[in-house]
Amino acid sequence: MRLARCHNHHDFRRLAKQRLPAPLFHYIDGGADDEVTLRRNTQAFDDVDLVPNVLAGVGDVDLSTEVLGQRLRLPLFFSPTAMQRLFHQDGERAVAKAAEEFGTFFGISTIGTRSIEEMGGFSAPKLFQIYVHKDTALNADLIARCKAANFNALALTVDTVVAGNRERDLVTGMTTPPKLTLASLLSFAMHPSWTLAYLAGERFELPNVSRYVKQGSDVSSSIASYIHEQFRTDINWDDAAKMIQDWGGPFALKGIMSVADAKMAVQVGASAIMVSNHGGRQLDGSRAPFDQLADIADAVGGYIEIILDGGIRRGTHVLKALAMGATACSGGRMYLYALAGGGTEGVRRATMLLREEMQRNMMLMGCSSLAELNRSMLSRRGGGT
Residues that are catalytic: 278
d(C-alpha 330, C-alpha 317), whole Å:
11
Nearest to 341 by CA among 28, 12, 109, 92: 12
Query: For residue 100, how many other CB atoms are within 10 A of its CB?
Result: 14
Distances (CA, A) of 36 to 13, 44, 138, 158, 166: 19, 12, 35, 21, 12
d(C-alpha 312, C-alpha 326), whole Å:
13
177 cis-preceded (ω within 30 degrees of 0): yes
d(C-alpha 344, C-alpha 274), whole Å:
26
d(C-alpha 316, C-alpha 372), whole Å:
15
d(C-alpha 148, C-alpha 330), whole Å:
25
